[in-house]
Structure 1
Amino acid sequence: MREEIVFTCGEGRLGIQVQAILTGDGVAVFLTGGEKPHVGGVAMSVPRHPRTASGQRPQTWVTPRSGHRDSDVATLVAEQLCRETGCCAAVIAGIHIDRASRQEIDALVQNSLEAARLLADRIKQIVEIEHA
């Protein structure tokens, strides 16, 4: 199985773009947004056990880019996807707004988490269809 999923969550400079490729046993995600999309950090989460129970924290590896905080949101999204789908999730994140206010940063994080929820729902639909 290989399926590509592309969508945007939020609007304007607070919008988060998701490009995801669903593989046989995981998902690779490019999460960008703001005014300057880039590669700012990477996180990969894997279930500690097959089909990680809801609420159980997956095992996660994080690689930040020097001077960037994007790996923070990459970690949140990778762990949420892993918990909700039970599969490996690798997230590359790059979100930037010049002189962003605390409210803008919070909105970008919330849009990223909403994007993760929507992506997890889509992944579960695809897996369900393939196993039907």
Structure 2
Amino acid sequence: METKHWRSGEGRWALEAWAVHTGGGIAVYLGGGETPHVGCSVLAEPRASLTGAGRSCTLSILNRLGHKDDQFAQELARRLCVGTGEPVSVAAGVHVEGAGGEDLLRLQEQFYALCAQIEADFS
């Protein structure tokens, strides 16, 4: 098994991810902000696209009450699953206390930068 690590951003907007490529799938932890934690788990299972062209995936999502971490987790799981054709599990927890619109935009920027790094390593 191979473990990989990525980081994007600084301070309260920093995000990090670790992944273990098991040979039978990819397990990822995505955390950051001021308080990394486990707020959700997403499982992506590859399948043929319902349009008949290409690959897609089916997502299963478990959220902790009051958590919105699944937005990032779903996107990352979907991208990796479709890109690799392997099952992908993402546990995520990102928290910035009192986050406003600007905070969310900065976290989103860091998230997409992190996704690009991860996808490049798995392509």
What is the TM-score of this pair, normalised by structure 1? 0.83
Q: CA RMSD in A?
A: 1.8
Distance in 2 separating the partners of 1:25 and 1:110: 30
- Which residue of structure 2 lines up, in the alignment, with residue 116 of structure 1? 115
Distance 2:113 2:121 in 1: 12
Aligned residues: 120
| Deviation for aligned residue 1:100 | 0.7
Verify: 1:17 aligned to 2:4, yes or no.
Answer: no
Secondary structure of 1:19's counterpart equals strand
Contact 2:6/2:117 (8 A) holds in 1: no
1-structure distance, mates of 2:81, 2:106:
22
The answer on whether the counterparts of 1:16 and 1:112 sit within 8 Å (CA) in structure 2 is yes
**How far apart are residue 44 of structure 1 and its match?**
1.0
Q: State the shift of 1:114 in Å.
A: 2.5
Q: Structure 1 residue 95 and structure 2 residue 94: aligned? A: yes
User: Equivalents in 2 of 1:100, 1:37: separation in Å?
Assistant: 14
Q: Secondary structure at the match of 1:115?
A: helix
Q: Any stretches of 5+ residues in structure 1 without a counterpart?
A: 125-132
User: Which residue of structure 2 lines up, in the alignment, with residue 7 of structure 1?
Assistant: 6
Q: Which amino acid aligns with 2:31?
A: T
Q: Secondary structure of 1:63's match?
A: strand
Q: Which is richer in strand?
A: 2
Q: Retained in 2: the 8 A contact 1:77–1:113? A: no
- TM-score with structure 2 length normalisation? 0.88
Pairing 1:39–2:41 present: no
The amino acid that maps onto 1:12 is G
In percent, how many aligned pairs have the same letter? 31
